[in-house]
Amino acid sequence: MTKVSKRISLFDIFPEGRREQDVNPSNTLGEETPVDGCTVQPVDEASVIISTVTDQQNHNVLGPEKSSLCSLQHVSRILIHISIILSIVAASLSVLLILQYFYHPPVQRACPDYLEMCAPSLNCSLADGANLCPPSRQPSNRTLSSEYRNPVLLLTSRSLLQLYNVITGRYYTVCHQGWMASHGWTVCRELGFNSHTVLSSPVPLSATDAPCLESFAVVNKTGSPGNLEGFLSPVETCPTQEGVSLQCTDCGRSAAESQRIVGGSPSAWGRWPWQVSLRWDGRHVCGGSIISSQWVMSAAHCFILSNFLTVGRWKVHAGSTSLNPSTSHSIRSIYYNGLYNPETNDYDVALLKTSQPMGFSETLRPVCLPRTQQQFQATGNCWISGWGHVSEGGQLSPVLREAKVHLIGSQICNQSSHYPGLITDQMLCAGYLNGKVDSCQGDSGGPLVCQEGGLWWQVGIVSWGEGCGRPNRPGVYTNITALLDWVYHRLQTDSEIP
């Protein structure tokens, strides 16, 4: 393997703009003042006439010498004014330099985030982007006090709901009998979603996998809908043999059905309404995907590799297929997985929270997160999209492009002829072994989506690859299913921050 490229764009389509110089000349010599009786300021016409008549009457033979003296005094006074002004300017600059040296205003920066938190707070607004945990920290799913268990599981493409009970240490499949919309809102808030669009429906348990049929619970009528621990009661089996299928967002619906994308074609308006452009100082760097009204998912390397950690310099551009200026959203927080490894590209995932909710429309809506244990077919209806290079070493595409790809198993992708031993459980490969269709620089952080059950699910995040569209070197993507616990843990933790 000779070249491994993270698929991040460093402004290679935008020429460096000329910086405007602030030019504000100040005419400090515009006002004139009298100097020792010498008239050097504008006066009214009458006083000039009177002065002239008086000089003539007194036969002032020293007139030329007096005029020369006045001129010298005038120049001297001008030089004094200039000296005073320069002194004031020098003093002001000194004060500014002193303030700049001693005063550093808080700058919010991208924050490393672990399931096992290594510090009481994940607020790294004053940090330098350095990890809060030692680099040797091993992957863990434990919190400070106990083993972390996602309180809510949505299983398979049917989104079958399971809830975790801390007392018994077990997950329970929730029966549909007695289920109400208010329960759905409680569960979705627990997951970190604040959307008012909560969809729930009964789903037969007869075709459910065995792990979903081990423990069951019904809604406790005496419990409070606002407390997960209080409104469930374990039962032997669901009375009506139906469980709860839950959707916390109206996700995965495209307004158009029909390729940075090497070998692709331009995308139709509204085809991928979750696709966003992440821009640093107004320039496209990476892609991303909307997963809720305030959350965007992308790749960790978009922020780490070039030290693009200052949150205020990023904007989310959404709702457009063009790279031209579009609707932008400010970002409040950026979190990247604390286990991200720049050398191996493992755990390459980040989450951005916008300052305000994004209003959904036909051209702006979320993609569905994959469900626990959800499986996708290798030859399924899977697509990549982005504004990245249309060829290796080329330029960004001015319009969003798309391409259909096949999922490639890790056993195949890890073979010596492809990426020998480099594909971890947190990665997956997609594309074609003969090359030609691939993601490229500028597509980083963008979505790999697959359609199932009429909905689009985000399976991967554009991460890295050797070249673009090369034979036997398919694109490598972050495996979102393997990192769902981290994603939901971050959403749940941040929802507690006012």
- Per annotation, catalytic residue among 159, 245, 298, 444: 444
Tell me whether residue 475 is exposed, middle or buried, using C-beta atoms within 10 angstroms of its C-beta: 0 to 12, 13 to 18, 19 or more. Answer: buried
- Does the annotation mark 71 as catalytic? no
Which residues 6+ apart lie within 8 Å of 436 measured at CB?
Answer: 262, 263, 469
- The DSSP-derived string for 376-420 is --TTSSEEEEES-BSSTT--B-SB-EEEEEEEE-HHHHTSTTS-T
- Exposure string of 314-323, with b = 16+ CB inside 10 Å and e = fewer, is bbbbbbbbeb
> Could you tell me whether strands 242-247 and 350-354 are parallel, antiparallel, or unpaired per DSSP bridges?
unpaired
- Find the catalytic residue in 348, 438, 443, 494: 348
DSSP state of 369: P
Catalytic pick among 284, 301, 329, 418? 301
**Length of the chain in terms of residues written:** 498
Distance CA 462, CA 429 (A): 10
DSSP track, 187-254: HHHHHT---S--EEEEEESTTS-GGGGS-EEEE-TTS-TT-TTTSEEEESS-TTSEEEEEESS--S--
Please give the full DSSP string across 444-464, using - where no structure is assigned: TT-EEEEEETTEEEEEEEEEE
Whether 196 sits among the annotated catalytic residues: the reply is no
Tokens 């909560």: give the residue: 198
Count of CB atoms situated within 10 Å of the CB of 161: 25
Question: Which run of H or of E encompasses 70?
Answer: helix 63-102
Confirm if 225 and 237 have CB atoms less than 8 A apart.
no
Q: Which amino acid is at 147?
A: E
Structure tokens at 380: 């399924």
Residue 348 annotated in active site: yes
The shares of helix, strand and coil residues in the chain, as percent rounded to the nearest 5, are 20, 30, 55
Pairing mode of beta strands 170-174, 216-219:
parallel
Bridge partner residues of 299 (DSSP): none
d(CA 386, CA 389): 9
C-alpha to C-alpha distance for 6 and 8, rounded to whole angstroms? 6
Q: Is 357 helix (H, G, I), strand (E, B) or coil?
A: coil
| 161 three-state secondary structure | strand
Q: Six-digit token pair at 317?
A: 């551009």
Q: Which residues have a catalytic role annotated?
A: 301, 348, 444
